[in-house]
Amino acid sequence: MTATFVVLIDFLGTFAFAISGGLVAVRHRLDLFGVLVLSFAAATAGGIIRDVLLGLVPASVVDWRYLAVSVAAGLVTFWWHDVVERLRNPVQISDAIGLSLFAVLGAGKALASGLGPTGAVMLGILSGVGGGIVRDVLVATIPGVLQRELYAVAAFVGALVVVLGDALSLPPAPVAVGGAVACFVLRWLAIRRGWRLPQPRSREVP
């Protein structure tokens, strides 16, 4: 993937996850600082963990634009959250977009850093779900990846498309778009239709 395309995906994913973090903060009635903190954490935590594991300096730490994008998204949700909330399932939509973009970006970065297919898929998943985990932990809720409809599975599909495309020497940009679309569609269908992984049956107390 070209550097410009990678940066575009990164900023789009950052904004989408920052919106989801800001909305969660507003719903928990945090103040302005709390909204901005949750927006930044949701937007950058997955990428920071990914880059650290790859031995890279996280881009969100050295590039002011990531902070600017997350702050802008946080301010939008703080001042106009009523407008955003009127959209259909705004947190889930923005979260699904961020998940899709970061999953393919994480897998692509891992491949570019010399990791094999398994490592690339794992880092793609981690990049996609990391921000949501940190966001949920900060408001003391069970991370959505542990209970939502096909959350990590959707990230796995998106990352896998990127890895398979690389193995087949297909053009990276269209493959990344295809992986992101596959991840988003699967996640959205799971939300709409309630698709979940199996859960243990509750044991009756004698």
Give the dihedral of Cα atoms 130, 125, 91, 25; nearest 10 deg.
Answer: 0
More confident residue, 108 or 92: 108
How many helices (DSSP H) and strands (DSSP E) are in the chain? 9, 0
Which one is predicted more confidently, 200 or 96? 96
Is 175:162 a contact under the CB 8 Å cutoff?
A: yes
SS3 labels along 132-182: HHHHHHHCCCCCHHHCCCCHHHHHHHHHHHHHHHHHCCCCHHHHHHHHHHH
The Cα–Cα gap between 2 and 25 comes to: 34
pLDDT tens readout for residues 30-50: 999 999 999 999 999 999 999
Q: Which pLDDT belongs to residue 87?
A: 67
pLDDT of residue 150: 86
**pLDDT tens digits, residue range 143-198?**
888 887 788 999 999 999 999 999 999 998 899 999 999 999 999 999 888 888 88
End-to-end CA distance of the chain: 59
- Can you give the pLDDT at residue 179? 95
Long-range contacts (CB closer than 8 Å, 24 or more residues apart) made by 79-82: 81/22, 81/23, 81/26
Given this model, what pLDDT does residue 128 score?
A: 92
User: When comparing pLDDT for 84 and 24, which is higher?
Assistant: 24
**In the predicted structure, residue 8 carries a pLDDT above the cut 90:** no
Supply the Cα-derived Rg of the chain in whole angstroms: 17
What pLDDT was estimated at residue 176? 92
Q: How confident is the model at residue 2 (pLDDT cuts 50, 70, 90)?
A: low
Tokens representing residue 140 in the block: 């003391």
Confidence of residue 119 (pLDDT cuts 50, 70, 90): very high
For residue 28, what pLDDT band results from cuts at 50, 70 and 90?
Answer: very high
pLDDT tens digits for range 45-97:
999 999 999 999 998 889 999 999 999 999 999 998 887 777 656 678 888 88
